[in-house]
Amino acid sequence: MTDHPTRLFASDAAVRALGEAFLERALPKVEWTHEAHLATCLWLIAERPEVHPERDLQQLIRAYNESVGGVSDDTQGYHETLTRLYIRGVRAFSIAHADGALVKRVNALLVSETGQRDWPLRFYSRETLFSVAARRGWIEPDLAPIEG
């Protein structure tokens, strides 16, 4: 994967504003980065109990993508396996790091192993992870079992 510097958040308010803008479909497409995905997921888990990521994120992400002119098809947009894997990882991280300010937990996630863009490749070959089947639905890992 391409090497990108990790973009950290400045405050709890910045994380919350990002999450709210995502839910309201008001977040500019350029701001829907890898870091934004993970920060939003942790914020939902930590502060929005009415939103259940395993149940709701598929529809929320698809609706957001459509609102900014994107599509979810066999080559772009929503990716079920990646989303479910990262939800699992973010949830485990959130449980292990339940204390402290939201921004501190989000930034710790982003610099952790789980927060890395290539983290899914510990469990999946590129061929499997980027297949149409993995984009459309959950695929079990083909390289290593997922801990937890």
Output the pLDDT for position 4: 79
In the block, which residue shows the tokens 């993508």?
65
Share of the chain above pLDDT 70, in %: 98
Cα–Cα distance for residue pair 73/79, rounded to 1 Å? 9
Output the pLDDT for position 28: 97
Output the pLDDT for position 148: 62
First to last CA, the chain: 25
**Residue 42 near residue 93, CB atoms below 8 Å:** yes
Cα–Cα distance for residue pair 74/72, rounded to 1 Å? 7
Cα–Cα distance for residue pair 30/7, rounded to 1 Å? 13
Those residues with Cβ within 8 angstroms of residue 102's Cβ, 6 or more apart along the chain or in another chain: 12, 15, 16, 42, 43, 46, 47
Output the pLDDT for position 147: 81
> Residue 77 gets which letter from DSSP?
S
Spans of the chain, pLDDT less than 70: 1-2, 148
Cα–Cα distance for residue pair 102/108, rounded to 1 Å? 10
